[in-house]
Amino acid sequence: MIQAHDKDALRVVMRGYRSNSETTAFVPTLGNLHEGHLSLVRKAKEVADRVVVSIFINPTQFDKAEDLAAYPRTLDNDLALLKKENIDLVFLPQADEMYPLGSATRVEVDGISDILEGDSRPGHFSGVATIVAKLFNLVQPDISIFGEKDYQQLMLIRRMEQDLDFGIEIIAAPTAREESGLAMSSRNNYLNEKQRNEIAPNLYAEMQHAKQMILDAQNDYLGIQKKALENLAQKGFEPDYFEIRNADDLSVAQADDKELVILVSAWLGKARLIDNIRVSIR
Ligand code: PAF
């Protein structure tokens, strides 16, 4: 596994892959890798000759609610995990390598950046779009893999990729879950044992309950959302949103929409958890 710490070293290796006509799948990460990330890496291995992973704690996507300084840094363990997966190249830049001149140029994806997560975390999606665009330019992969766990982020990346003509195939990988149903996330590290094992799984259970109600032909979506928010608060969460949306454009779900997504965000202690599930109405 090659480790590239700067852009020039990365470019040299990427040029080599391209000159051999080898395809590349790219998995960008913030580090603190867990089974969810590894499922993206395994997907990448299935679909391309070479797998490139980046580990970069991108300062421009953090806000006050999610403290940059508090983000877990576990580089040795991350590298050991990636080595086991037999990936080809890991890109490990520092902030001054990625933003040597600061960040005057930003990528803004209108509309989708302002709702749900974007509403709760102003500037977050501009930070994500900007760093992913920069990484796409540097790596120039054929394919890039993103988790469905961050559903809104996945939609934002797809839109940016199309709008800016990167010519990269974006593949979505399913959310990896613990046995309890809790979506795997670095943020789970902020939970204590009781929160993690007893309370947090209720987030998934509440979405499943709402999904069942929708499938049972109850289309009072506002009522379902309201009840879910009450249930979550009762169980110890501080819910941010619980929304039933159109899965294609995240607009507010209408009674005749067939493809829906339930998205939730809730604070539990120090962790702001997010999750989502799809609902297909036949
Ligand atoms: O989902 C993440 O881990 C980050 O938002 C990403 C895509 C690596 C950009 O920093």
For ligand 1, say whether the CB of 58 is within 6 Å of any of its atoms: yes
- pTM, two decimals, is 0.97
pLDDT above 80 for 66: no
Are residues 20 and 129 in contact, defined by beta-carbon separation less than 8 angstroms?
no
Instruction: Supply the pLDDT for residue 282.
Output: 87
* CATH 3.30.1300.10, applies to 186-280: yes
Among the listed residues 135, 124, 131, the one whose alpha carbon sits nearest the alpha carbon of residue 168: 135
Instruction: Supply the pLDDT for residue 63.
Output: 82
> Do 2-173 and 186-280 show the same overall fold?
no
Q: Hey, what amino acid is at 106?
A: R
Instruction: Supply the pLDDT for residue 100.
Output: 96
Sign of CA dihedral 90, 94, 97, 101: positive
Confidence of residue 91 (pLDDT cuts 50, 70, 90): very high
Q: What is the mean pLDDT of residues 2-11?
A: 98
**For ligand 1, mutation pick of 132, 154, 161 (most atoms within 8 Å of CB):** 132
Q: Report d(CA 132, CA 29) in Å as an integer.
A: 10
Q: Report d(CA 27, CA 89) in Å as an integer.
A: 11
Q: Whole-number mean pLDDT of the chain?
A: 97
How many A from CA of 68 to the centre of ligand 1? 13
When computed from its CA atoms, the radius of gyration of the chain, rounded to whole angstroms, is: 19
- At 210-251, the pLDDT tens digits run 999 999 989 899 999 999 999 999 999 999 999 999 999 999
How many A from CA of 28 to the centre of ligand 1? 6
* CATH 3.40.50.2020, applies to 2-173: no
> Domain spans of the chain?
2-173, 186-280
How many A from CA of 216 to the centre of ligand 1? 36
Minimum-distance ligand 1 atom for the alpha carbon of 28: 8
Instruction: Supply the pLDDT for residue 103.
Output: 86
Q: What is the mean pLDDT of residues 84-107?
A: 97
Q: Is 37 a catalytic residue?
A: yes
For ligand 1, say whether the CB of 36 is within 6 Å of any of its atoms: no
Instruction: Supply the pLDDT for residue 195.
Output: 98
- At 24-51, the pLDDT tens digits run 999 999 999 999 999 999 999 999 999 9
Q: Give the CA distances from residue 43 to residues 85, 98, 118, 257, in Å, rounded to whole numbers and listed in that order.
A: 11, 26, 28, 30
Q: What is the mean pLDDT of residues 2-16?
A: 98
How many A from CA of 281 to the centre of ligand 1? 31
Confidence of residue 65 (pLDDT cuts 50, 70, 90): low
For ligand 1, say whether the CB of 61 is within 6 Å of any of its atoms: yes
pLDDT above 80 for 64: no
For ligand 1, say whether the CB of 55 is within 6 Å of any of its atoms: no
- At 115-139, the pLDDT tens digits run 999 999 999 999 999 999 999 999 9
Sign of CA dihedral 252, 255, 261, 266: positive
Cβ burial of 57 (10 Å; 0-12, 13-18, 19+) is middle
Of all helices (H) and strands (E), which one includes residue 13? helix 7-19
CB atoms within 10 A of CB 2: 14
pLDDT above 90 for 76: yes
Q: Report d(CA 257, CA 41) in Å as an integer.
A: 33
Sign of CA dihedral 241, 275, 196, 225: positive
Minimum-distance ligand 1 atom for the alpha carbon of 56: 10
- At 165-180, the pLDDT tens digits run 999 999 999 999 999 9
